[in-house]
């Protein structure tokens, strides 16, 4: 029974087979309900985070980089581990790398183009280095595997253990940084005189909102893919769009809700934290479950795109030293790299990664 439940949660094929039998009108209703769940869940989550920050004294960007990013990437890690466990380890590496590219290029880039995004240098100068450092370490280990392997390069279980140990260190040091930075004036965190939620209600809103966002995302993507398939959209275009959106949908809805409610710093924390967790948590846990083979197109296409986006973001953090926030042209740069990346996947047929 337990194994069957786990398969329903982690096996993408079962979800696609489930919605394949629905008429189009039912699929449209399902998508509308999922969008409602995503929107309401994201709203609840942001309200919970804002009040939790006021209750605990922690900066909202820190809560975004820890609690929210951990919540939005945990289903991704679970799907990746299940894929590796059920004999499809190739999905896991693409899941992590693809999400890093989508979170920073698509989500941060798009939001930065649309609105002014504040930059908390105390947090970003620390977590931002972990973000780019963990991805660089992953690429270095992968290149080492390519150079030394006699057959197909592979991320072995010891790599997964190393990444999970680094994850534990990251979570601890983030807590230390939060305590040091909590008393500082947080850019973008204006004074709030609204009624304060109880601590229990804060957690109820955060956890309940996360559940609705994740549930909505898990059902919406296969439903939308099924409609696209039925109206004769080519499979490779579906792969480059619906699959690429995939598990980054929770981060996207959280970003939209945080900006709409006037708290874009939560989006910044969530994107940076999710990037770290996609590398250390998603790929690390999957590699422990089963060694991950590294396809050749990762070295020529996916890894370079990830590093270009992350090092661009790192440079943009450095450029905010004058006390200002991120600029719209910086968001446009990141978004354009993402769009070129998706277009090249389709036109060059280099192979897609799931995110």
Q: Exposure string (b/e) for 141-152, b if CB count within 10 Å is 16 or more?
A: bbeebeeeeeee
355 residues of the chain, pLDDT tens digit each? 445 555 555 556 677 777 777 888 888 888 888 888 878 888 888 888 878 877 777 777 777 777 778 777 777 777 777 777 776 666 778 878 888 998 999 999 999 998 888 877 767 778 888 999 999 999 999 999 999 888 889 999 999 999 999 999 988 887 777 666 554 444 444 555 556 778 888 889 888 888 887 787 777 777 877 887 787 766 555 655 565 566 677 788 888 888 888 878 778 888 888 899 989 998 998 899 888 888 888 898 889 999 999 999 999 988 876 667 889 999 999 999 999 988 887 777 655 554 4
Evaluate whether 167 touches 199 at the Cβ level (below 8 Å). no
| Whole-structure pTM value | 0.80
Query: What is the C-alpha separation between 28 and 22, in angstroms, rounded?
Result: 10
Per-residue DSSP letters for 303-331? HHHHHHHHHHHHHHHHHGGGS--B-HHHH
Domain positions in the chain:
59-185+234-347
**Three-class SS state of 263:** coil
Evaluate whether 324 touches 317 at the Cβ level (below 8 Å). no
Query: What is the C-alpha separation between 333 and 138, in angstroms, rounded?
Result: 24
Pick among 1.10.3720.10, 1.20.1420.30, 3.40.50.620, 1.20.120.1200: CATH of 59-185+234-347:
1.20.1420.30
């Amino acid at each position: 029974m337990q194994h069957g439940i786990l398969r329903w949660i982690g096996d993408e094929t079962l979800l696609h087979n489930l919605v394949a039998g629905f008429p189009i009108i039912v699929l449209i209703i399902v998508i509308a309900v999922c969008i409602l769940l995503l929107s309401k869940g994201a709203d609840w989550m942001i309200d919970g985070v804002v009040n939790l920050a006021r209750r605990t004294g922690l900066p909202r960007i820190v809560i975004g980089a820890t609690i929210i990013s951990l919540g939005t990437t945990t289903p991704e890690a679970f799907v990746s581990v299940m894929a590796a466990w059920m004999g499809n380890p190739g999905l896991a590496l693409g899941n992590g790398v693809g999400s890093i590219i989508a979170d920073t290029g698509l989500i941060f880039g798009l939001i930065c183009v649309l609105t002014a995004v504040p930059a908390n240098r105390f947090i970003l100068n620390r977590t931002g280095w972990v973000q780019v450092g963990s991805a660089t370490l992953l690429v270095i280990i992968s290149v080492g595997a390519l150079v030394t392997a006699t057959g197909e390069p592979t991320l072995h279980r010891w790599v997964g253990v190393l990444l999970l140990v680094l994850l534990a260190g990251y979570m601890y040091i983030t807590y230390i940084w939060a305590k040091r930075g909590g008393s500082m004036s947080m850019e973008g965190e204006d004074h709030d005189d609204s009624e304060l939620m109880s601590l229990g209600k804060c957690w109820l809103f955060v956890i309940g909102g996360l559940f609705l966002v994740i549930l909505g995302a898990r059902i919406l993507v296969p439903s939308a893919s099924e409609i696209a398939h039925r109206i004769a959209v080519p499979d490779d275009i579906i792969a480059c769009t619906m699959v690429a959106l995939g598990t980054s949908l929770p981060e996207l809805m959280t970003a939209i809700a945080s900006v709409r409610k006037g708290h874009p710093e939560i989006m910044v924390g969530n994107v940076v934290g999710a990037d770290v967790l996609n590398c250390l948590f998603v790929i690390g846990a999957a590699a422990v479950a089963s060694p991950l083979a590294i396809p050749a197109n990762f070295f020529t296409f996916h890894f370079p795109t990830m590093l270009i986006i992350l090092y661009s973001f790192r440079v943009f953090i450095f450029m905010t030293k004058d006390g200002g926030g991120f600029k719209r042209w910086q968001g446009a740069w990141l978004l354009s790299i993402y769009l070129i990346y998706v277009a090249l996947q389709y036109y060059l047929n280099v192979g897609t990664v799931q995110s």
